[in-house]
Amino acid sequence: MLKGISLTAKRGDVTALIGSSGSGKSTLLRCVNLLEVPQRGEIIFQGDQVKWAKKFGKRLPTDKHQIRRMRTNLSMVFQQFNLWAHMTVLQNVIEAPISVLKRNPTDAELLGRQLLDKVGIGDKWDQYPSQLSGGQQQRAAIARALAMEPVAMLFDEPTSALDPELEAEVVRVIKALAEEGRTMLIVTHDMKMAYDVADHVIFLHDGVIVEQGTPEQVFNHTQSERLQQFLQSTGSLA
């Protein structure tokens, strides 16, 4: 359960959310694009505050167009890839731009191929997810997220399901996106990636923000005993 979280993600910044399992990292990320609905507090996206109403004893968003607009501009990359097994890699990438954004199929395919090249799997465009390694599937998922041309990208433990070699492939892509100045919120167990990629690091424990700051402040000038314990248990930047 989240308790009084306050977070601002600025355009062009990369924010890393770290903490032990159950600390609230993924819940916070899912609240950002309303995959989970917070029962208190406010969500403001590009100056537009989410409109709420009480229904059946629960608070729910009321403006469907507003929510669709938010979700279209917030692309999420999940831990388990969530690719459609019956579609090729390219079809996975271009499905949402065509069906949701109403892009011309020819233009969508051209962009899709460019994005697959960008993440290093352009030669896999006609293969199915089952034919790819985990790292390749996650890179396809990143290309699919990019195809929506989002204002910001949300990553929920994008490398935790991968072995170290495949993890490195995905980290390289995320670092390249950060260097482009893309706005990203990243829930991660990879402390080195958080240190190398993020502009701002937030440490959560038991649903609250215990400590936050630049990577230098959080990792090298730790203030709280709980964060010190967490970094020791993860091996920190080793």
Sequence-ordered list of residues with C-beta below 8 angstroms from that of 157, at least 6 positions apart, any chain: 26, 79, 187, 188, 189
Q: Model pTM?
A: 0.92
Band of residue 206 on the pLDDT scale cut at 50, 70, 90? very high
CA pair distance 142, 172, nearest whole angstrom: 12
The string of pLDDT tens digits covering residues 43-74 is: 999 999 999 999 888 999 999 999 999 999 99
Would you say 191 and 234 are in contact if contact means Cβ atoms under 8 Å apart? yes
Is residue 236's pLDDT more than 80?
no
* Percentages of the chain per state (helix, strand, coil), in multiples of 5: 40, 20, 40
Domain boundaries, the chain: 14-82+151-234
- pLDDT for the residue 238: 53
CA pair distance 104, 97, nearest whole angstrom: 9
pLDDT (mean) for 74-99: 96
With respect to CATH, is domain 14-82+151-234 assigned 3.40.50.300? yes
- pLDDT for the residue 161: 85
